[in-house]
Structure 1
């Protein structure tokens, strides 16, 4: 059926032709004049509900009521390469291919699939493009297409990279974010077809500069202090957009919501996905004295995660939390793998004492107060030795020093700014790793210990139950409970395997496979392909 430039195909309405040059109204619900923009317009709505009409949108007679669902108007700039129109739930049948050609006229080839009838609808032959203009469906073929150009927006720890310029290696070391470096190394060794561009913003950078690590290019952008969070990261958006316009990526990968990366990616206009590194909404619920910045980060989650085409996170707990609270379009569980060197640790725990290792920030949220009080209570009955990887931080450090006594405090061994090799050396000599955290999505220290074969005593919180199997490679306890922590440590020190620093061999092999860098790299590449196949690609 065709009337007044409208084709009815199945349950879709397709408007073919050019818009008027000088529209008086820009709202397609109120007038037949479409917004001025050269090219074709694809317009459709679902007429399956009551009140919808089969008359064309913008009927000149104006006698029929307009459909209650706002039609999706998609400007298709022409001439240009093959494009896929943005996905819309208001189009009952999703277009599969759109081709534009010609300087004066645009041609539209629309394949509409009717699942019930099992047939395809085509426009009349006179409206189809010439045969030589018809290209393949815009899906990737790694054998014939160029690599996917991916831009990371991240707080990447460049100071930890040995290949970084000396002026960056001399910066104060921040959180190592080892999972990002592991993913980078995995793709450098076995590239599945990616061109990686890593954009990092920091005020600590001495200047803005670029450098390469293999085929990956780093863009270190120096920012002005006091302009990021106060501007709700619009300053970051401006800075990142300048870089991405030169890169012209196919896809943007935002690492975390804490530093505005997810919100910036949602504003830029490129297809994007978000990787959750910490659930600040959950953190602010559990920690009574969350800082104003943490509360801002929780607000950023509410603004950015529902807009993401895909959210990746580490644990089953985080997947359920994100789906229930933020309802993004898709959520994918991808475990962040520890450094491969932890899979090769040669265990040699001390036979004459029980060496406890804690690898976490010295903070209430990490349960540091519970750990020190439990060790202080057990010290008279067990030969315990405590190593804390990370410096003591005030005011909690002063409070615990005065409470537990200077003698006990002096026996704690604090390690600062350890490299992954040095952390692996500490785990090689450890009897147990202790992680009594109150709130944590998936602590990397637990994964490193699990991969190294160190028994773990940890809280039953977040993703930790995904890695610690009771009585096989560790013990679990309720978070925030000092008495339970004391009982769990006493039980582990008398366990037939754990007291010797050993775990069940089958569980160790299973966890090393589950937390392998190869698995993480494959899953992230699948996430990129998912976004590229479901979100239209266009340059803002």
Structure 2
């Protein structure tokens, strides 16, 4: 079977054009790790559009090829990603896949899949309609636009893979058919954690962005003072240069947070596993979450979890040992 796998290269998303190797999100990475185990059964062609030429390896594994079409600035969000869709169609003309699999509705992948001219399915990672609602995003804002494109893609696709019952509830009204399949976990997180001394560290994993409430978590921590009991709060994830991120950066780097909180930026999976193995707990408090792959990965490292009862997170963590749920705005509860 020949599959075209449309996903985002995070070198493009984060503008890290100097990095040598492609970087994919945790969920697509886990799927590709699985597909690489079947070299005789499936041929995979990963396609990731970019605005700027980068190093493009021919193959990522024995049965996985990599293609990176160059798309001008005009072919992205301002034209509803139709430039990306056209570039992908040109690549697919030579591949002639049996199936096109679009990874996520956050950017160009879903639209490129449904306009590919081949049988296609989508996997939902973040629910753009729900994110737009949680942010009260205007129609002509970015999240307003991609929430509309998400509904369009759902109607045109052959079917949608949903990672939780919560996600399926959002997708079913517009999708032709849905399949509920939990997200894969990266191979590095499947090894049993070593028995070692845990440090007084609480991790917060995820991009620094409003709906993940990164700044709000940090502000809560800043107000706890005498109740930190020697613990340090550590944020792992990329941080852009939006006003929200600048406020976060200013507070986390302030003298009052020295020794109490820090931001480490993005980590490779192996580095993150090693860090989680030494940590004691995790906080995950988004206002919207389709699955919470980081929750599953944290639980795989035996971290105690303090989580907002949001979206699909309970589907992942309900009933697991060491989990405490709170309302997404219950800062008094989680700080106690």
For normalisation by structure 1, the TM-score amounts to 0.56
Could you tell me how far apart the structure 2 residues matched to 1:392 and 1:236 are? 25
* Pairing partner for 1:358 from 195, 198, 204: 204
Correspondence list, 1:131-150, <5 A: 148-150=1-3
* Pairing partner for 1:406 from 254, 274, 277: 254
The reply on whether 1:330 has 2:177 as its aligned counterpart is: yes
Which protein, 1 or 2, shows the higher relative CO under an 8 Å CA cutoff with sep ≥ 6? Answer: 2
The structure carrying a bigger helix percent of its residues is 2
* Pairing partner for 1:377 from 223, 234, 239: 223
The 1:373–1:448 alpha-carbon spacing in structure 2 relative to 1, beyond 3 Å, is same
Gaps of 5+ in 1: 1-147, 160-166, 488-540
Q: What is the CA-CA distance between 1:207 and the residue it aligns to?
A: 7.5
Contact map agreement 1:254 1:261 (CA 8 A) in 2: yes
The reply on whether 1:299 has 2:148 as its aligned counterpart is: yes
SS of alignment partner, residue 122 of structure 2: strand
The 1:401–1:208 alpha-carbon spacing in structure 2 relative to 1, beyond 3 Å, is closer
The 1:201–1:469 alpha-carbon spacing in structure 2 relative to 1, beyond 3 Å, is same
* Pairing partner for 2:41 from 183, 193, 203: 193
SS of alignment partner, residue 5 of structure 2: strand
Could you tell me how far apart the structure 1 residues matched to 2:137 and 2:11 are? 31
* Pairing partner for 2:300 from 434, 444, 451: 451
Contact map agreement 1:208 1:222 (CA 8 A) in 2: no
1:380-402 Cα distance to aligned partner (Å, 9 max, x none): 03222111113555523554577
The residue aligned with 1:177 is 25
Could you tell me how far apart the structure 2 residues matched to 1:234 and 1:402 are? 38
The reply on whether 1:281 has 2:134 as its aligned counterpart is: no
Correspondence list, 1:311-326, <5 A: 311-324=160-173, 326=174
The 1:178–1:404 alpha-carbon spacing in structure 2 relative to 1, beyond 3 Å, is closer
Contact map agreement 2:70 2:87 (CA 8 A) in 1: no
Q: How many pairs align? A: 327
Greater mean deviation of Cα atoms: 474-483 or 206-215: 206-215
Contact map agreement 1:347 1:429 (CA 8 A) in 2: no
Could you tell me how far apart the structure 1 residues matched to 2:164 and 2:115 are? 27
Could you tell me how far apart the structure 2 residues matched to 1:309 and 1:462 are? 25
The 1:362–1:265 alpha-carbon spacing in structure 2 relative to 1, beyond 3 Å, is closer
Contact map agreement 2:305 2:323 (CA 8 A) in 1: yes
The residue aligned with 2:5 is 152
The residue aligned with 1:343 is 190
Could you tell me how far apart the structure 2 residues matched to 1:477 and 1:420 are? 28
Could you tell me how far apart the structure 2 residues matched to 1:236 and 1:209 are? 20
Contact map agreement 2:252 2:262 (CA 8 A) in 1: no
The residue aligned with 2:237 is 390
Cα RMSD for the two superposed structures: 2.7
The residue aligned with 1:202 is 50
Could you tell me how far apart the structure 2 residues matched to 1:248 and 1:403 are? 51
The residue aligned with 1:460 is 309
Q: What is the CA-CA distance between 1:430 and the residue it aligns to?
A: 0.8
Could you tell me how far apart the structure 2 residues matched to 1:151 and 1:479 are? 38
